[in-house]
Structure 1
Amino acid sequence: MQHTTRSKAILLLADGTIFHGKSIGIQGKSFGEVCFNTGMTGYQEIFTDPSYFGQIMVATNPHIGNYGVNANEVEANQIMISGLVCKNFSFNHSRPDSESNLYDYFEKQNLICISDVDTRALVSYIRDHGAQNAVICTDGTALTELQELLSKVPDMKGLELASKVSTKEPYFFGNENATYKIAALDLGIKRNILRNLAQRDCYIKVFPYNATFEDMQAFNPDGYFLSNGPGDPEPLTEGIEIAKKIIAADQPLFGICLGHQMIGLANGISTYKMFNGHRGINHPVMNVLTGKGEITSQNHGFAVNREELENHSDLEVTHYHINDNTVAGMRMKSKNVFSVQYHPEASPGPHDSSYLFNDFVSNIKKAKSILTV
């Protein structure tokens, strides 16, 4: 399919800067914090990643939609980004196992998309001026009205969003006869995380963001998992309390992304909003424990304070981001607890960090062997 008539559309940033483009044919406007992802593949996984809830995504890859969509490549049941900004939107797709084209996928979920934007200039501007709120408009709303509406959109700093994407009720994933049981707190969990755990002989019970430690403990798990998710970690006081109780109970604990930040907060380490977050599938990380570099999949706009972490008596940095030296991983010296800021499930890739799931299971094995001695 090809849409021949394309109406004008704009992206308006909170500082008043305007970028022009064209609507792909879905009318409306959408608000959120504008950010960019440098991945060259995996746009469907990006669009359905709950960690992107509340954000307008700018794709740095110039071609979006060229390989269509497939139901097996979603990280959640629906699109999670607020809107999309891209250079070239492909209405046609050429991959044999695609189930539909991207336009129909967007239309069913009413996702606003603006194409034909100078995304190189836009990303350069965001890099220089930092993350900020924005609106994409394809319905011709007057600029003054857009500015008024945009001024009322809350900042990401201080915004609790896990409740918007978490499951409402607990559910199970994997083989109930698996060797290990994992209690996972859903702050915006990605499906491929669950797949990775299930592939390692784990049966997972997924709990809502507002579950209690006692709720999770009642499952009698062998280990606990704190997931990725959107928004600022500091308002998640209930989740931070869960992390404290898991640590106090000396249980195996693994945290990813937002879960990583909550483990930091549970240990009294502050978090901060980054000028620009890390989003892409090509981020270089140094593993301090092995001395090896890893190429990682990342998606976060907040980070753990490295200076405070290095001054903490019971925490140590295990990984750091090579580009800016921010904390990419940590562990507790006296507890069976570790976490990483990036996404080791890495769908569609790279898979340099998938060993972390093996490490988690190894930690559980050690804990179980101590109990049985």
Structure 2
Amino acid sequence: MLHERKESYLILEDGSIFTGFSFGADGKTQGEVVFNTGMVGYPEAFTDPSYRNQILVLTYPLIGNYGVPAEFEKELSTYYESKQIHLSGLVVSEYSKFHHHWTAVRELSDLLIEQNIVGIEGIDTRALTKKLREHGTMQGYITDVPHDSFKPILPVHPVLDVSVKEPKTYGTGNKRIAVIDCGCKNTIIRSLLARNVTVIRVPWNYDVTTLDINGVLFSNGPGNPEDCMETINTARKTLELNIPTMGICLGNQIIGLASGAKTYKLKYGHRSQNQPCLHQNSKRCYITSQNHGYAIDRKTLSDEWEELFINANDGTNEGLIHKSKPVFSVQFHPEAMPGPVDTGFLFDKFISMLL
């Protein structure tokens, strides 16, 4: 279907204005403006809870040309990472009004309207991305008023919004894994279930040491890891009890903070499907999918820990492993979706550690 072109504006906190055209839902939206350089996988990316409260800029120039698939309401959907879109807004260079793909059931704009997500197209995303790279991530908003005054966003704790509220159980395997859900992607759950385990998915502030389990996984999620003090305290307990533990993305930062290390905010984050990570033992380079804005300060790690992976682009930490306890974590997404699954073997490593 054809759309009327209604002028819209992306306004950044430094006063920069990018003029484009509205698509998706009408209205205004506000959030942290971040960019992702992936070429494909927008249904999975939009439903990744780690994008909560963010306005996402996609650098690939044509978006929407393969529509969106069905199965949105399925508990562990094949094509979506949660049951809703978590973006605050979407920024693209060109939105394709026509789509074709064997899984597509409707166009992207229809889904954005249904989920009340404001989008803007016709933006020079190359210039916008260069600005964010040079000056760092900044707040912004999408509006139909060209001279709208900027209103700072109050601090929020997005993990509260994206975590499950009550425990959920999946699978019937003999080994039982507690997944602490700080915004867990569906594919993490599916990756564990594919290895014949039972998964108990619990809220971000749940004390898993009260459960009969063989291991713990701290999931990905949005926001500042230092806001998750209850999760960090749980990680300290699991470390003390020598419970086999794995962390992914935010989970890497949670485990790092629990061990006494510090975290910091990256200038513009890692959000792409082609981040090279060097395995420190083998020196082998793996291409990984990433979506995070914080990292562990390598200099603050204690002598009990070693770095498992390091980013080959900027030298930031990409994983930890304890020298004597059955605990490791990675900053990237071994389950990918979208992205390469070169590091899927890390789930097998975790399963082999279970009590």
| Aligned counterpart, 1:14 | 13
| Aligned counterpart, 1:299 | 291
How many Å apart are 1:290 and its aligned residue?
1.8
The one-letter amino acid paired with 2:257 is: L
- Matches of residues 160-309 of structure 1 in structure 2 within 5 Å? 160-173=157-170, 175-176=171-172, 178-212=173-207, 216-309=208-301
Q: Which residue of 138, 141, 148 maps to 2:145?
A: 141
* Aligned equivalents of 1:108, 1:85: Cα separation in 2: 18
Post-superposition Cα deviations, 1:180-211, rounded to whole Å, max 9, x if no partner, equal 11011000000000000000111100001121
Post-superposition Cα deviations, 1:118-154, rounded to whole Å, max 9, x if no partner, equal 00110011101100100011xx33624x32xx22x03
1:323 equivalenced with 2:329 (yes/no): no
8 A contact 1:7–1:25 mirrored in 2: no
Secondary structure, in 3 states, of the residue corresponding to 1:117?
Answer: coil
How many Å apart are 1:25 and its aligned residue?
5.3
Secondary structure, in 3 states, of the residue corresponding to 1:197?
Answer: helix
| Aligned counterpart, 1:101 | 107
8 A contact 1:239–1:262 mirrored in 2: yes
| Aligned counterpart, 1:342 | 332
* Aligned equivalents of 1:93, 1:290: Cα separation in 2: 44
| Aligned counterpart, 2:75 | none
Q: Which residue of 295, 299, 304 maps to 1:314?
A: 304
1:112 equivalenced with 2:109 (yes/no): no
- Give the TM-score of the pair, scaled to structure 2: 0.96
- Give the TM-score of the pair, scaled to structure 1: 0.91
The one-letter amino acid paired with 1:289 is: N
Secondary structure, in 3 states, of the residue corresponding to 1:143?
Answer: coil
| Aligned counterpart, 1:88 | 94
Secondary structure, in 3 states, of the residue corresponding to 2:128?
Answer: helix
How many Å apart are 1:179 and its aligned residue?
2.5
How many Å apart are 1:91 and its aligned residue?
2.2
1:32 equivalenced with 2:31 (yes/no): yes
Secondary structure, in 3 states, of the residue corresponding to 1:167?
Answer: coil
* Aligned equivalents of 1:333, 1:63: Cα separation in 2: 46
Post-superposition Cα deviations, 1:294-319, rounded to whole Å, max 9, x if no partner, equal 0000000000001112xx11000110
Consecutive unaligned residues of structure 2, counting only runs of 5 or more, are 72-77
Secondary structure, in 3 states, of the residue corresponding to 1:80?
Answer: coil
Q: Which residue of 118, 121, 130 maps to 2:136?
A: 130
The one-letter amino acid paired with 2:147 is: L
* Aligned equivalents of 1:291, 1:142: Cα separation in 2: 51
How many Å apart are 1:276 and its aligned residue?
1.0
The one-letter amino acid paired with 1:143 is: H
How many Å apart are 1:2 and its aligned residue?
1.7
8 A contact 2:209–2:237 mirrored in 1: no
Secondary structure, in 3 states, of the residue corresponding to 1:234?
Answer: helix
How many Å apart are 1:348 and its aligned residue?
2.5
Question: Following superposition, which runs of at least 4 residues in structure 1 exceed 6 angstroms of deviation?
Answer: none
Secondary structure, in 3 states, of the residue corresponding to 2:179?
Answer: strand
Post-superposition Cα deviations, 1:3-26, rounded to whole Å, max 9, x if no partner, equal 1x2111110001111111101153
* Aligned equivalents of 1:278, 1:142: Cα separation in 2: 30
Secondary structure, in 3 states, of the residue corresponding to 1:289?
Answer: coil
Post-superposition Cα deviations, 1:247-282, rounded to whole Å, max 9, x if no partner, equal 000010000111110100001100001111000101
* Aligned equivalents of 2:24, 2:281: Cα separation in 1: 51
Secondary structure, in 3 states, of the residue corresponding to 1:46?
Answer: helix
Give the share of equivalent positions with the same residue, in percent: 43
The one-letter amino acid paired with 2:15 is: G
The one-letter amino acid paired with 2:193 is: A
How many Å apart are 1:111 and its aligned residue?
0.5
Post-superposition Cα deviations, 1:215-262, rounded to whole Å, max 9, x if no partner, equal x23431110010000000112110000000000000100001111101
Secondary structure, in 3 states, of the residue corresponding to 1:325?
Answer: coil
Consecutive unaligned residues of structure 1, counting only runs of 5 or more, are 369-373
Task: Looking at secondary structure, tell me which structure has more helix per residue.
Answer: 1
Distance change (3 Å), C-alpha of 1:16 and 1:333: same
- Matches of residues 361-372 of structure 1 in structure 2 within 5 Å? 361-364=351-354, 368=355
